[in-house]
Structure 1
Amino acid sequence: MTDQPDGATPPQGDDADNAVRVSEPAFNLPAGLVGILAVLVAIHAVRTYLLPFAVDNELILNFAFWPARYDHPLADQNFAWLWSPVTYSLLHGSWEHVIFNGFWMVAFGAPVIRRIGAARLALFWCLSAVAAVALHVAFHWGDTSFVVGASGVVSGLMGAAARFVFSPSGRISRQFAHLNRRLTIAEALSNRSVVVFAGIWFLTNFLIGLGMFAFGGAGGIAWEAHIGGFLFGFLLFGLFDPRN
């Protein structure tokens, strides 16, 4: 299926919501997003069904993000400290982890990739992955736990989407969302729909962090990385956005 041409003008206000409700297809994913999902699934399938346990452990050691890596002299390591802040986002801990991230990537990644294109999305992916673990390592310097998963990038996509996906009535008009005007940060922070969306998102992550603290870190969710990714996408999306 094809996306709307750049020159298309979406319906405005409640008419836009009605148009989307009537005519929007159930599945209309950009090819670039389908490719990303296929890569994530393929990587996890190979790790799960084809790689011996020892080889998979070596892969995690070299491509997952490991805060302890930065607590030792770099001369004593290979160059994994250089690429692991990006490559960890391609690895996942379980099929449930892949499916959960894939679900939210479909919801928020589709309008972002339609808006900025695959090349800009690739750069956004890398930098949001780095931003996510940068905040994580600030809270967990020297930690020996490995971090894997695209959750930080997905959070970045959520933050980016919050700058443009909401229609004037507050609904998310998925079909035409990528054609909306990008809100300035000040406008976004004064938009009720954006504030409610971001508020619920932050509250959820803070509750996850509070629960992990109360139960001694049980669950292994890198919630600080989620916040780092979201802030990156929300505050810096304008650098990637060719519209407006």
Structure 2
Amino acid sequence: MDDRPDMAPDDEAFSDNGKRQSQPIFNMPGIMLASMALLAVLYVVQEYMLSADARAEFIVTLAFTPVRYIFPLSEQGLEWLWTPVTYSLLHGSVEHIAFNALWLAAFGTPVVRRIGTVRFLIFWILSAAAAAFFHAGIHWGEETLLIGASGVVSALMGAACRFAFPDGGGYDRTHGHLYPRQSILGAFSNRTVVIFTAMWFLGNILVAVGLPLIGSDAGDIAWDAHIGGFLFGFLLFGLFDPIRYREV
């Protein structure tokens, strides 16, 4: 596994003869494009290639539901094992997947550049599970079906708060992966992080009390999974960060 972050992904590239080279149209890490492509392919299969019965079985087999965990695991299939992750690959509408893809690109890009592909995949798996079980803790035993990558996206937002918001203000998607990692307490001395986090939590609280927001037309929003994901990314990002210099 390559522990080195991409040190200058968006700087201008030049060939050996000094001529400027063309840059990719989509200036994102390959794993980000692959992730978005996988989400899109699964949505097309789910919505356009299956019969109604097969679609329902497909969703139930891959979606997360807390009710599975009140029954003995030995007396059921293995869905309890993979659904805490696979639910994050499904979406309920074009708007749902587009909304998550937008934020995935915005916050996943600097995280991938910071931690690399393998760590990103592990981060996705563990943050999806953390978001799912935070949701399950609030809806224990209920037959809710959880789908969507927003728990993972929230975890990426939380992770980005630890390094991609420079002290001078703003959010640096392009070079944010190069900044020192802030400690958990140190991050709250960053005014931009405080404002961003406060607005993020306010938005989810408004969703929790029933106020519809942008991107909410895909069904009920699992605000609790968002919070579980964000806390995972913010509190545990240091475990994934290959840059080991002292936190600030």
- TM-score bracket, normalised by the shorter chain, equals 0.7 to 0.9
Counterpart amino acid of residue 206 in structure 1: I
Q: 1:198 to 1:45 in 2, by over 3 A?
A: same
CA distance in structure 2 between the aligned counterparts of 1:200 and 1:88, rounded to whole angstroms:
26
Answer yes or no: is 1:88 the counterpart of 2:90.
Answer: no
1:187 partner SS? helix
Which residue does the alignment assign to 1:69? 68
TM-score (norm 2): 0.85
CA distance in structure 2 between the aligned counterparts of 1:55 and 1:75, rounded to whole angstroms:
25
Deviation at 1:7, TM superposition (A): 5.5
| Equivalence map 1:1-244=2 (5 Å) | 6=6, 27-211=26-210, 219-243=219-243, 244=245
Contact 2:131/2:224 (<8 A) preserved: yes
Contact 2:7/2:178 (<8 A) preserved: no
Q: 1:187 to 1:58 in 2, by over 3 A?
A: same
Which residue does the alignment assign to 2:20? none
Q: 1:129 to 1:5 in 2, by over 3 A?
A: closer
Structure 2's unaligned 5+ residue stretches are 11-22, 212-217
> How many equivalent residue pairs?
225
Contact 2:158/2:230 (<8 A) preserved: yes
Q: 1:198 to 1:26 in 2, by over 3 A?
A: farther
Which residue does the alignment assign to 2:214? none
CA deviation string 1:6-29 (max 9, x = no partner): 556x9xxxxxxxxxxxxx998511
CA distance in structure 1 between the aligned counterparts of 2:42 and 2:61, rounded to whole angstroms:
15
TM-score (norm 1): 0.86
Structure 1's unaligned 5+ residue stretches are 11-23, 213-217
Q: 1:7 to 1:68 in 2, by over 3 A?
A: closer
RMSD: 2.5
Counterpart amino acid of residue 170 in structure 1: G
Identity %: 53
Counterpart amino acid of residue 95 in structure 1: V
Deviation at 1:174, TM superposition (A): 2.0
